[in-house]
Amino acid sequence: MFEQRKYTRFNAEGRVTIYPKDNPSFSIRAGLADISMLGLGAYSQDKLEPGTDIRFVIINKFSEKPIIGEGRIRYCKGFRKIDTEMFRIGIEFTAVDNETVEGVLKRIQKEGQA
């Protein structure tokens, strides 16, 4: 199968808080699954519709401060984990500090080589 991604995804642990732009008082907590220069993958118990514009805050051990940015939901696929319905969410970055993301990716890559 042909790989369409321009950047490698790196597995990452952490938390993501998602704020839909059309309802900023509502937030969704998700687990960070992976990250790349163009976006991230997360797991959540809440469903978000593809095309939804969001703001996000990422907390992980590879960044000294939270990564704050904006994005768009690209996909949201449901699955079952034991007795709980979960969703795998793909988020495309639309506004983020690229230097901070690049620094996190370098630290993840370095730890993987240790």
Query: Per the confidence metrics, is the pTM higher than 0.85?
Result: yes
Helix (H) or strand (E) holding 55: strand 53-59
Q: How far is CA 1 from the centre of its chain?
A: 24
pLDDT at 113 over 70: no
User: Does residue 3 or residue 41 have the better pLDDT?
Assistant: 41
Overall average pLDDT of the 88-110 stretch: 95
**pLDDT, mean over the chain:** 91
pLDDT in tens, 31-80: 999 999 999 999 999 999 999 999 999 999 999 899 999 999 999 999 88
Arch. (CATH architecture) of 10-113: Beta Barrel (2.40)
- Per DSSP, helices labelled H in the chain are 98-113
- Domain boundaries of the chain, sorted by first residue: 10-113
